[in-house]
Amino acid sequence: MNFISYKKSELYDRIVDEYDIFQNSYDFMVFLAVMGYQEGKVVREGYKGDDSAGTKGQIGVENFFANDLYRVIASSIAFQDTEDPSALVNSELQAEKLAQYAAGGLEIAEQEFGSTAGDPTNVIVEYIQDHDEEDSYQGTLGEIVKAFDDQMMGVEED
């Protein structure tokens, strides 16, 4: 389990290479995964891409999970998808779910930004602005954070 495999498409080339919106393909992949989760779109088959068709993307696990935030996201997605807390520590599972949701997000992205002629940066910005749910997390989250903090007193935070 050294790599996370995910499905790439022409959109990746455009967004990552041509227009330099994301630095790396896997950065875009995470974005797509989050999109897919938010819209509830997930692809369970063929989500790894096809090497011969040139639609396979890979990122080394160590590299990937070195990014804290990405780790958090991967864990959360995996957990939400399985409802299993052990998903929080199961990196293989996380890789799988990440790719699945990324594949789902890719389909949405094709619709939303795929047909834009030229640089889709502005469309992407608009998409993010439109889908930003008003933050009510301050309320509930604040409580949870507080509660956990209380609970976790003494436990090392990563």
Partner 1 sequence: MELHRLELQNFRQFKDDTIEFAREKAEGITVIHGSNGSGKTTLLNAFTWLFYDEVDFETRPDRLVTEGTIAEATVGKQLTVSVRLRFEHEETEYIAERRAIFEKRSEDDFDGDLIDMGLTLEYKQGTSWRERGNPENSLDQILPERLSDLFFFDGEDIEELAGIDNQERIQESIQNIMGLTILERSTRHLEDAAGRFEDEVEEHASDELAKLIERKREIEDTIEELDRKKDDTERSIERTETEIRDIEQKLERLDESAALQERRQEYREDREKLEARVEKINEEIKAEIDEKGFVPLAIPLINETAERLDEMRQDGVIPSDLSNSYIDSLLEAERCICGRPLEPGTEYYEQVAAMKGEAVAEGVEQGAVRIIGHLNQMSDMESAFFDNIDEYIQERKRLHDDITELTEKIDDVGSELQEMDQKTAGGVSVPELEAKRESKENEKEELIGEKGRIEEKIDRNEEEIESLKEEIEEQRDEREEALVAKRRQKAAELVAEELGTAFGELKDKVRRLSNEKIQDTFGSIASKNLTAEITEDFELKIWQDVGGERVEVDKSTGERQIASLAFVGSLVDIARERYEADGDSEYFTGGIYPLVMDSPFGALDKSHRREVSRVIPELANQIVVFATDSQWEGPVEDEMSPKVGKQYWLDFDEGNDSNTYPRTRIKTEPVGGD
72 is a contact residue toward partner 1 (CB under 8 A): yes
> In degrees to the nearest 10, what's the CA dihedral of 103, 3, 55, 123?
50
Site string for partner 1, 16-55 (x = CB under 8 A): ---xxxxx---x--xx--xx-xx-----------------
Contact predicate 59/23, CB 8 Å: no
Q: What is the C-alpha to C-alpha distance for residues 127 and 19, in angstroms, rounded to an integer?
A: 17
150 binds partner 1 (CB under 8 A): no
Cβ burial 70-107 (10 Å sphere, 16+ → b, else e): bbebbbbbbbebeeeeebbebbebbbbbbbbbbbbbbb
Q: By CB under 8 A, which span of 4-12, 42-50, 55-63, 83-91 interacts with partner 1?
A: 83-91
Q: Which residues bind partner 1 (CB under 8 A)?
A: 19-23, 27, 30-31, 34-35, 37-38, 68-69, 71-73, 75-77, 79-80, 83-86, 88-93, 119, 121, 124-125, 128-129, 131-133, 135, 137, 140-141, 144-145, 147-149, 151-152, 155-158
